[in-house]
């Protein structure tokens, strides 16, 4: 019986097999087609070169190697950046088992300073019309360099540029001049002078033009197969976007000031909680930014000194001298915070001026009002009765009753001398439910002065 069932079920299994095979064939063909089509991972970096850039490039190279990509294509638009991050990227390029293509794109982009070295270190260097490359002279980060140190750094950078150009068979003389004289070149000039390989208008055109070219990889020569390649974008991830944003000196500066504002506001208003929490978070983000930026300690110290001067102005009347000192200190500190001649690595002057004005107003009004409110004399409760005027309802000899604010209170003569009923009195102390008073005309605590005496 079991054999008969198996024979009857055999056509059913055969039919299912044919259906699955027919369904899977297009998928297999598609997978095979994808496998045979070369893969190019397409990344893009816009902004200063920082440790975050290095981390992103490493991720690109590792993904390309893991997935067997034909090439890694990095679109670049940078004014320059940190020397250490640039050298890390170049070392990765020179050791890469996957072809690296650097494309200065779109029109209007540039490869300045550190971007020159990175572009020339790629296996294939390309530019689009309307872009430029150059001005690679090293600049001081975190302080001025003396003439000897400038000469040493320049010689080192020039030799490094020549060595990279030599490895990639590019114009060594121009590479050195870009460092020593800050020369630049347009996309057309760069191709003519053998600075980059091609000048094309799009990624697709670039891959078509370089198809069949031979590049030197650590494993040996490799002929590029990029015509009709499948381009897969590999953008920066959320973490890299966040860290890249924090690496912006303007963002770091703003976070630092917001953190200081929040903590000071919390200290002046204990229990507010929100300003303190926001302040701590902003300061932590600022400190994270400082780890990737060339922080000048003197500039930071001048900013903190300015905050102290603003606070002292509120507590110590200096007729504006401390405020002026605070504004000058904060302005100088902000200019020195990331001290370099490279505008991309400095805080925007517009942001600095706005921040100085806002800080002065913040301490002059917001914090000042808070401190004045705390130092204001109490006007409610028992303590609020001190200095108030009333009238003796009965004779105080030395105790009796007074009328104040429409209420009758037990009172005692502060001098011990009798105070006749109907005499104007003023409160000088509250002791439990009894007031210590003296005649209004003899009280140094009087709020009403001669007006109170006249009323009596």
What SS3 class is residue 436?
strand
Token pair 């297999």 is found at 28
Cα angle 77-83-85, degrees, rounded to a multiple of 5: 70
Higher pLDDT, 23 or 211: 211
pLDDT at 145 over 70: no
d(CA 258, CA 4): 83
pLDDT, position 382:
57
Token pair 């360099």 is found at 145
Closest CA to 75 of 231, 249, 293, 292: 231
Tokens representing 36? 């045979």
Q: What are phi and psi of 343, to 5 degrees?
A: -60, -30
Mean pLDDT confidence for 173-200 = 95
What SS3 class is residue 378?
coil
Tokens representing 17? 């097999």
Q: What are phi and psi of 247, to 5 degrees?
A: -75, -5
User: What percent of the chain lies above the pLDDT cut of 90?
Assistant: 36
Burial of 110 (0-12, 13-18, 19+ CB in 10 A): buried
Higher pLDDT, 85 or 247: 85
Could you check whether the bond before residue 106 is cis, i.e. omega within 30 degrees of 0?
Answer: yes
pLDDT, position 412:
85
Token pair 């630092």 is found at 256
d(CA 63, CA 150): 39
Tokens representing 167? 């490895």
pLDDT at 27 over 60: no
Mean pLDDT confidence for 331-356 = 78
pLDDT, position 444:
45
d(CA 338, CA 201): 36
Q: Hey, how many other C-beta atoms are within 10 angstroms of the C-beta on 435?
A: 24
Q: For the CA atoms of 314, 316, 317, 321, what is the dihedral angle to 10 degrees? A: -80
Mean pLDDT confidence for 407-423 = 84
d(CA 302, CA 198): 49
Q: For the CA atoms of 364, 367, 369, 373, what is the dihedral angle to 10 degrees? A: -150
Closest CA to 336 of 302, 299, 305: 299
pLDDT, position 451:
39
pLDDT, position 191:
96
pLDDT, position 4:
47
Mean pLDDT confidence for 374-391 = 64
d(CA 184, CA 199): 16
Higher pLDDT, 369 or 48: 48
pLDDT at 152 over 80: yes
Summarised one tens digit per residue, pLDDT across range 222-263 is: 999 999 999 999 998 888 888 777 778 888 889 988 888 888
pLDDT, position 269:
74
Least confident of 26-35, 253-262, 343-352: 26-35
Number of H helices and E strands in the chain, helices first, is 16, 16
Q: Is the dihedral of CA 209, 214, 217, 219 positive or negative?
A: positive
273-277, 431-435, 442-446: range with highest mean pLDDT: 273-277
CA distances from 244 to 45, 222, 250, 421, 455 (A): 10, 34, 12, 79, 73
Q: Strands 399-404, 407-413: parallel, antiparallel or unpaired by DSSP?
A: antiparallel
pLDDT at 370 over 90: no
The pLDDT mean for the chain works out to: 81
pLDDT, position 441:
64
Q: What share of the chain is helix, strand, coil (3-state, %, to 5)?
A: 55, 20, 30
pLDDT at 44 over 90: yes
308 Cβ contact partners less than 8 Å away, ≥ 6 residues apart: 326
């Amino acid at each position: 019986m079991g054999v008969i069932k198996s024979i009857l079920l055999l056509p059913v299994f055969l039919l299912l097999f044919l259906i699955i095979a027919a369904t899977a064939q297009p998928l297999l063909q598609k997978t095979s087609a994808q496998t045979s089509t070369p893969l190019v991972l397409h990344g893009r970096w816009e902004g200063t070169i920082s440790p975050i850039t290095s981390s992103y490039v490493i991720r690109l190279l590792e993904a390309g190697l893991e997935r067997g990509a034909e090439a890694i294509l990095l679109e670049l638009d940078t004014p320059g950046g940190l020397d250490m991050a640039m050298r890390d990227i170049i070392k990765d390029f020179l050791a890469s088992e996957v072809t690296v293509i650097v494309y200065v794109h779109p029109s209007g982009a540039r490869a300045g300073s550190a971007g020159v070295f990175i572009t020339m270190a790629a296996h294939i260097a390309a530019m689009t019309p309307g872009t430029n490359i150059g001005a690679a002279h090293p600049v001081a980060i975190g302080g001025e360099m003396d003439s000897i140190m400038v000469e040493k750094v320049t010689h080192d950078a020039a030799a490094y540029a020549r060595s990279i150009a030599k490895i990639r068979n590019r114009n060594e003389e121009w590479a050195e001049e870009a460092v020593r004289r800050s020369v630049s070149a347009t996309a057309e000039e760069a191709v003519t002078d053998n600075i980059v390989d091609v000048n094309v208008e799009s990624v697709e055109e670039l891959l078509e033009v370089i198809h069949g070219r031979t590049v030197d990889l650590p494993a040996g020569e490799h002929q590029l197969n990029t015509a009709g390649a499948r381009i897969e974008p590999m953008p920066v991830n959320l973490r890299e976007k966040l860290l890249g944003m924090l690496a912006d000196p303007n963002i770091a500066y703003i976070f630092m000031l917001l953190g200081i504002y929040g903590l000071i506001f919390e200290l002046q208003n204990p229990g507010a909680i929100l300003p303190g929490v926001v302040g701590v978070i902003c300061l932590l983000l600022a400190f994270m930014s400082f780890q990737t930026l060339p922080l000048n300690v003197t500039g930071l110290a001048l900013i903190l000194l300015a905050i102290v001067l603003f606070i002292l102005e509120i507590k110590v009347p200096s007729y504006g001298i401390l405020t002026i000192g605070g504004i000058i200190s904060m302005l100088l500190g902000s200019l020195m915070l990331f001290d370099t001649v490279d505008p991309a690595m400095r805080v925007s002057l517009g942001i600095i001026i706005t921040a100085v004005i806002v800080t002065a107003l913040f301490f002059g009004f917001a914090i000042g009002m808070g401190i004045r409110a705390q130092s204001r004399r109490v006007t409610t409760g028992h303590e609020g009765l001190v200095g108030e005027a009333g009238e003796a309802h009965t004779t105080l000899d030395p105790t009796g009753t007074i009328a104040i604010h429409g209420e009758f209170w037990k009172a005692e003569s502060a001098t011990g001398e009798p105070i006749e009923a109907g005499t104007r009195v003023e409160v000088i102390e509250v002791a439990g439910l009894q007031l210590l008073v003296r005649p209004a005309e003899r009280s140094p605590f009087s709020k009403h002065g001669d007006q109170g005496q006249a009323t009596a």
